[in-house]
Amino acid sequence: MTVYFNGNFVDKDDVSISPDDRGFVFADGIYEVLRAENGAFFQEDLHFERMARSLNEIDLTSVDVAAVREAIHSLLYHNDLQDRLAKIYIQVTRGAAPRQHAVPTPPPDPTVYATVAPHTPPLDKWEQGVKAILHPDQRWARCDIKSISLLPNVRATTAARRADAYEAILVRDGFVTEASHSTVVGVFDDTVVTHPLTNHILPSTTRALLLDLCGAHDIPVEEIPIPEADLPDADELMVLGTTTGVMPVVQVDDWTVADGTPGPITRDLQAAFRALEPA
């Protein structure tokens, strides 16, 4: 497999990263995940704006984001994935330096890595819906940065897998924030409800698209946190993400969402979302 590493296209086996890399030592870095179809990326601008913002928020501004953007297009061709569905992972860390917490001056050269893989959409799950669990949101107070420091997310997703569930819906101070690797959206009395964009959630590209689709379909939207106590009253529930798509949630822990099948608003939004072309 050919990957992009610090400006070059190389075989993945030939990549070597220093044990002093601050990504390894401190999880001092950010990442981005995109989806492509037939060589075109979905929401490419939004993803790269978010990546630039994440870098900016952690003061890692020496990265040539335009070059990375160009590179991932080439990477599809290098891996013969230009004619199919693919997912793209990009990771940037602050680079290698002797271990000390403070960012060294001058800062080291960042480590920039990107990889592509075939993507298989979860068609059966989209059709039937999935189970989720509730889990405490144990993450930090800057979840708006797409940080590679994901231990609380790893723990939450692992708890979900052990419960035979697809996702862990995170609860902070009695309110749903998002899920371990996706956005949470509820439908209450025909209104789509999701957490506002704050430091407690990632500004999801799929969330942005879905809210646009709600506008186009005259579906009312409220951007307010959903109280955990109100969740069993949801008429519909879904989780959203770049590889997750618009995923119906039909069971949470041991209770079912409404009648336990994907609801009509979820179905409409799912169909509208799937009809979107890469842009």
Ligand X SMILES: Cc1ncc(COP(=O)(O)O)c(C=O)c1O
Contacts of 270 (CB under 8 A, 6+ apart): 126, 238, 245, 246, 248, 262
SS3 per-residue string spanning 59-124: CCCCCCHHHHHHHHHHHHHHCCCCCCEEEEEEEEECCECCCCCCCCCCCCCCEEEEEEEECCCCHH
Q: Kindly state whether residue 206 participates in binding ligand X, applying the rule CB under 6 A.
A: yes
Q: Which residue has the tokens 């990504």?
A: 23
12 is catalytic: no
Binding piece for ligand X, criterion CB under 6 A, among 69-77, 91-99, 199-207, 270-278: 199-207
CA–CA distance, 238 with 252 (Å, rounded to integer): 11
CB atoms within 10 A of CB 277: 8
CB of residue 150 to ligand X, shortest distance in Å: 8
CA–CA distance, 255 with 176 (Å, rounded to integer): 17
Binding mask 21-40 vs ligand X (x if CB under 6 A, - otherwise)? ------------x-------
CB of residue 154 to ligand X, shortest distance in Å: 11
Q: Kindly state whether residue 205 participates in binding ligand X, applying the rule CB under 6 A.
A: yes
Q: Kindly state whether residue 178 participates in binding ligand X, applying the rule CB under 6 A.
A: yes
Find the binder of ligand X among 183, 194, 266, 270 (CB under 6 A).
183
CB of residue 124 to ligand X, shortest distance in Å: 20
Give residues 214-273 in contact with ligand X (rule: CB under 6 A). 240-242
By C-beta, is 96 or 249 nearer to ligand X? 249
User: What amino acid positions are annotated as catalytic residues?
Assistant: 146
Q: Which residues bind ligand X (CB under 6 A)?
A: 33, 178, 181-183, 202, 204-207, 240-242
